[in-house]
Amino acid sequence: MIFTHDVGFMRETAARQERGVHFVGVVYARQRKVSLGECIRDLELIAEASQPEEWHSRVEYLPLK
């Protein structure tokens, strides 16, 4: 999976989803909305609770709730 704060990257991800093009999973957090500590905790949780094959063409937003 890829972790990003980049809005432009998310536009490309949305375009790929719309076209049905497969991509590696993306985890997105808006800058200034989620602290670095929250991102690290959530990314650890994701890594521990999921398998790589679950992330094909998937998008998740932080913080997790």
Q: pLDDT 10s per residue in the chain (65 long)?
A: 999 999 999 999 999 999 999 999 999 999 888 999 999 999 999 999 999 999 999 999 999 98
pTM passes above 0.85: yes
Rounded Cα–Cα distance for residues 57 and 65 (Å) = 21
On whether the CB atoms of residues 53 and 22 are closer than 8 A, the answer is: no
Domains in the chain: boundaries: 2-62
